[in-house]
Amino acid sequence: MRLRDVRWLLPLGLLLGGCASSGDGTVITPKDDASVDLGKPLDTGEDVGLDASDAADAPDVPAGRVCRTNDDCTAPDLCSNGQVCRFNRCVVVGGTPSCDDSVACTDDSCDATAGRCVHAPNDMRCPSDTFCAGETGCVRELPCEIGDATCARLNGDPCTGTWSCDPARLRCVRSAPYNCADMDTCTMDLCMLSGTAPMCVHNGPNYMTDLANCGMCGRACTAGANQTAACTAGACTASCNPGFVDADRMAANGCECNSSAADDPDVMFRDANCDGIDGDPARAIFVSPRGNDSNDGSMMMPKRTLGAGIAAARMATPVRSVYAALGTYGESVTLAPGVNLYGGYDDADGWARAGEHPPRSASPARAPRRDVLVATELQLFTDPLAEAATARGAPTECGSSAAPARCSSAAADR
């Protein structure tokens, strides 16, 4: 009687009262001290009362180790001498074994060192946000046990968080991303790897030089009129544009003075080009009672007499004006065509100009000809002889009016 006949007869015998007939009069009776597990394969004929001759008559029964699946069949030479599980026994079939477990998300291979088939979960084979759980296939939450390495395989970039097994749910969970926020709204905070450790990088403005964020986020550097703003070492600065000067040292109104502007002396004493005096030193011959006619007529080396100053101004190319310091000049003055005389300067105070004490000459200026006098202007000059004539009621000459005297081309032409 074959073993497979016994497999069918045994359940029937159990239903009939614990024994079964083989059909030839032999009664099969289970041992009193053992129970039969129908879910397990039978080991040998001895368990069912078969003798050795009956077991030899069962050629379909494999002689290998007990198995449920092909994965239960292992051997040192398995990868070159394959085995399969047949009738709950491992059978050598030779050649390369088929390690396919019919699970789409696993990478199946034969491990020659371990002598067995292995099935490595490959999460890349699963849809997004799902994981490979081995025999279960792709799942949204990966089962785990405390202390196993199931969740460790999910760890990659620690900047995105780390995986661990939740002890309450026994599922792999990921922590929050690595926090690199620095509370600075001007920076872009990034997490990067330094080897295998997370490292924070904060990309943002250079607070040492950024005009919009100078020294701190949101602090902008501004400039006034005719100025250029800059951020230097984290501090805002402003400088005058080329050709402009901050004469009053007040940042609020910027650089109000244009150094290239024309600056002819005027009775308002305005320093239009901010060079320090009312007028243009480069276009003037300076005269002072404390000077010397052998000097070159510059601010530092003025001439002594008005006549010497007028002569030097007339010889210059182009013709210059005469800037006279406060004091008394004991001389008669002959005006020259195109040479203007401007008084009221104080050579002891950097040639600052004021009209309280204008220069005095010994006699009124005399023009050589009426037709060329229109090109000559006198400011802040007084003539003591003319002042005496005015006191007597006599007609005044050019430049002899009081408060402060000024001789323009119209007055001189009178």
Give the tens place of pLDDT for each residue, 115-133: 999 999 999 999 999 999 9
Residue 5 is predicted with a pLDDT of: 44
Specify the residue for token string 């005058």. 240
Please state, in angstroms and rounded to a whole number, the distance separating the CA atoms of residues 103 and 100.
8
Grouping H, G, I as helix, E, B as strand and the rest as coil, residue 17 is coil
Q: Is the pLDDT of residue 210 over 90?
A: yes
278 contacts 353 by C-beta, under 8 angstroms: yes
Strands of 153-247, DSSP E: 163-166, 171-174, 188-194, 197-203, 227-232, 235-240, 244-245
**What residue segments make up the domains of the chain, in order of their start?**
3-56, 267-412
Q: Is the pLDDT of residue 397 over 60?
A: no
String of DSSP letters for 129-152: T-EE-GGG-EESS-B--TTSSTGG
Please compute the mean of the pLDDT values over residues 97-122 and round it to a whole number: 94
Q: Is the pLDDT of residue 33 over 70?
A: no
Please state, in angstroms and rounded to a whole number, the distance separating the CA atoms of residues 215 and 205.
10
Task: Render pLDDT for 336-387 as a digit per residue (tens, 0 to 9).
Answer: 999 999 999 999 999 998 754 455 554 444 443 333 333 467 777 776 555 5
pTM (predicted TM-score): 0.42
Burial of residue 77 (CB within 10 Å: 0-12, 13-18, 19+) is exposed
Q: Is the pLDDT of residue 280 over 60?
A: yes
Residue 274's closest CA among 261, 289, 292? 261
